Every structure is written in structure tokens, then in C-alpha cells.
């Protein structure tokens, strides 16, 4: 028996997620797509696909007959709007998968801690950049302590809708925190680049981890294995080249990022270069940022739904 879900947000992310539920999931069934602009392309697409819609936001969703059977709600709006959505949905006993950077619930990155918060009323999917890079930080951290992790996410400006642009500050804060809490880095930093190039460029991500002396082969093997795990739900996720290792000289300013007392130790910068090609369910394949976020949310909701069924069985 499928689990009924609704999607709030009829922009790029919400529309892509709706299509993924329809095309890819045997466990979830889309009950409604919710927006605030009656003329949005997402709501028009939903109507053509025979999905119930409302342009009256969370209040419109709650008033819909379809809402009675909804168990999980995806929020693909903005960090500010999510706070009210979460308050309303929790009071009505609905579970929430948050695709905004609001981070009211625990962070979830499927290949790293996908089974850790299956009972949580609200889980947060970090950001597109976080979903692409935190698995790599976690892979390095599994072999050797990561003192500092820095990621740079470069996405096409065409793939960044109004909600994404409004959340830029929250993007950096939430991703930086998740690099530490989920990736295991002592300190984390995130940078996002909205690239205006034409034709649009595919999503690219760079991960730098500052570690001590390390086993290069062990780190490489762990990163490659993690990339394969991500590819099970994001087929377009790939390493652009071999994992890079650079021994950090004693006079290098990077050593200031080592923990107190660690300046005399061996130091290595591990660099990983990623590319994420989208499945083109809604926007073209350059929008890998869209694909990795919605694919991670879909995988998470499916796990939550399966877990709930085993608990009630």
C-alpha cells in the first residue's frame, strides 16, 4: 500500500519532486501540489498530470479533501515560510521532509545517516550543495579526522528560482553546519556560486578537506565507494578526476586551520571534484542541483514510509 504525500512549493524544486514521485516511486503517491501563484508552470503541469492542486498555500492544502490521507508533506518553499508550515503540519500530525535551509529538524543525507531519524516529525535535507558534498566529507572522515572541510557548489543561475535566491544566506549557514554535524568535520565552510554562463553549465562541486597524515589509498577507496552509493539514487553523480592529495608545507597559511596544538603535525589537503548531471525530469540535465536535492528527499521519504509501516505492522 502506498503512502500519500503532498508537495508545498510549485517552483523548480517542488515540480521536479512531484514528477519524481509520479515516475520513480512505487511506495509514495502524490496527493497534491501546493503553490501561491495560480499561474505557475508547476501548478499547470500538475493539473495536466491529474494531480490535485491549490494556489492558496498551506491553508489551501489543509482545506483539501485529499489532505485527509496525506502522511508526509514535502516543503519546497523558503526557510522563512517553512517555520509556519512546520507549525501547522505538526499540530495536524503530519510528518515533514524539509527541502528548505530552515533546518528545524535534524539533517539527513541518505548515504551518510539516512536511517538515523526515521521517527523524526521533521527532517531537513540540508541543501543541494550539501547533498552533493557532505557524503565526500563523511567518506574522508571515516578514514581520518577532518579538521576543516570546505565546499564550493557552482550551479547554473537558470536553475536557481526565487526561493533558492532568497535562501542564499541560509544555504551557506545550513551547509556549513551540516558539514560538521553530518560530515564529521571539525569546522565547515560552504560557498555557492550562481553561474550566469550561457549555455548553462552543469552543476560542479569542489570539496577540500584538511587532515593530518593519511593513507591516500584508503581515502580514495572510501570516497569512490561513497560516490557509488550516491549514484544508486542520483545516476548523474560522478567524480571528475582522481582524488587529489597535497602535503601542506610548514609555512602554508592553511595550517592555521588546524586545531590548537596541531601546527607541528603532518597536514594534507584532500581535494575532490564532482559533477552532477540531472535526470531532466523538469529542467534540463544541467540542473543537477535540482536532481540531487529532490532525489535525496524522495529516498528519505520512502525510508520513512517503509519504517512507519514496520512499526505499525
- Phi and psi at 298, nearest 5°, equal -60, -45
Whether 111 and 132 map to the same domain: the answer is no
One pLDDT digit (tens) per residue for the chain, 313 residues: 899 999 999 999 999 999 999 999 999 999 999 999 999 999 999 999 999 999 999 999 999 999 999 999 999 999 999 999 999 999 999 999 999 999 999 999 999 999 999 999 999 999 999 999 999 999 999 999 999 999 999 999 999 888 788 888 889 999 999 999 999 999 999 999 999 999 999 999 999 999 998 999 999 999 999 999 999 999 999 999 999 999 998 888 888 888 876 555 789 999 999 999 999 999 999 999 999 999 999 999 999 999 998 887 6
13 is an annotated ligand-binding site residue: yes
Whether 216 and 296 map to the same domain: the answer is no
Residue labelled with grid coordinates 552543476: 203
- Residue of 117, 112, 274, 2 lying closest to 103 (CA atoms): 117
In angstroms, the Cα distances linking 117 to 76, 171, 244 are 20, 21, 33
159 is an annotated ligand-binding site residue: yes
- Expressed as residue numbers, the domain containing 306 is 3-126+292-312
**In sequence order, what are the residues at sequence separation of 6 or more whose Cβ sits closer than 8 angstroms to the Cβ of residue 45?**
15, 18, 19, 282
pLDDT value at position 168?
85
Whether 268 and 148 map to the same domain: the answer is yes
Whether 276 and 237 map to the same domain: the answer is yes
**Residue 251: CA count within 13 A, CB half-sphere:** 0
pLDDT value at position 313?
61
The number of folded domains in the chain is 2
Within 191-272, residue ranges assigned H as helices are: 216-231
Catalytic residues: 128
Whether 136 and 245 map to the same domain: the answer is yes
The C-alpha cell that represents 88 in the structure block: 501547522
pLDDT value at position 260?
75
Whether 99 and 194 map to the same domain: the answer is no
Looking up residue 9, the CATH number of its domain turns out to be 3.40.50.720
25 is an annotated ligand-binding site residue: no
The C-alpha cell that represents 266 in the structure block: 603532518
303 is an annotated ligand-binding site residue: no
Whether 135 and 280 map to the same domain: the answer is yes
Amino acid at each position: 500500500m502506498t503512502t500519500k504525500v503532498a508537495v508545498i512549493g510549485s517552483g523548480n524544486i517542488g515540480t521536479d519532486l512531484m514528477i519524481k514521485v509520479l515516475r520513480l516511486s512505487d511506495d509514495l503517491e502524490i496527493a497534491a501540489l501546493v503553490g501561491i501563484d495560480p499561474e505557475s508552470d508547476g501548478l499547470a503541469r500538475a493539473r495536466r498530470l491529474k494531480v490535485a492542486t491549490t494556489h492558496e498555500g498551506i491553508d489551501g492544502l489543509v482545506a483539501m479533501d485529499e489532505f485527509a490521507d496525506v502522511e508526509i508533506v514535502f516543503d519546497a518553499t523558503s526557510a522563512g515560510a517553512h517555520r509556519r508550515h512546520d507549525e501547522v503540519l505538526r499540530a495536524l500530525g503530519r510528518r515533514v521532509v524539509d527541502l528548505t535551509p530552515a533546518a528545524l529538524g535534524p539533517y539527513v543525507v541518505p548515504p551518510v545517516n539516512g536511517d538515523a531519524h526515521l521517527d523524526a516529525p521533521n527532517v531537513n535535507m540540508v541543501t543541494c550543495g550539501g547533498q552533493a558534498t557532505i557524503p565526500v566529507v563523511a567518506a574522508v572522515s571515516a578514514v581520518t579526522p577532518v579538521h576543516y572541510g570546505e565546499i564550493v557548489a557552482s550551479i547554473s543561475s537558470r536553475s536557481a528560482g526565487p526561493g533558492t535566491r532568497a535562501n542564499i544566506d541560509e544555504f551557506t549557514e545550513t551547509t556549513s553546519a551540516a558539514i560538521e554535524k553530518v560530515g564529521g568535520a571539525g569546522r565547515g565552510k560552504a560557498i555557492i556560486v550562481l553561474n550566469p554562463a550561457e549555455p548553462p553549465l552543469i552543476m560542479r562541486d569542489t570539496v577540500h578537506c584538511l587532515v593530518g597524515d593519511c593513507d591516500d589509498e584508503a581515502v580514495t577507496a572510501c570516497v569512490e565507494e561513497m560516490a557509488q552509493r550516491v549514484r544508486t539514487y542520483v545516476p548523474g553523480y560522478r567524480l571528475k578526476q582522481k582524488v587529489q592529495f597535497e602535503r601542506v608545507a610548514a609555512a602554508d597559511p592553511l595550517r592555521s586551520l588546524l586545531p590548537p596544538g596541531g601546527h607541528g603535525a603532518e597536514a594534507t589537503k584532500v581535494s575532490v571534484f564532482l559533477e552532477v548531471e540531472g535526470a531532466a525530469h523538469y529542467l534540463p540535465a544541467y540542473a543537477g542541483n535540482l536532481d540531487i536535492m529532490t532525489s535525496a528527499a524522495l529516498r528519505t521519504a520512502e525510508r520513512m514510509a517503509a519504517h512507519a509501516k514496520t512499526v505499525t505492522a
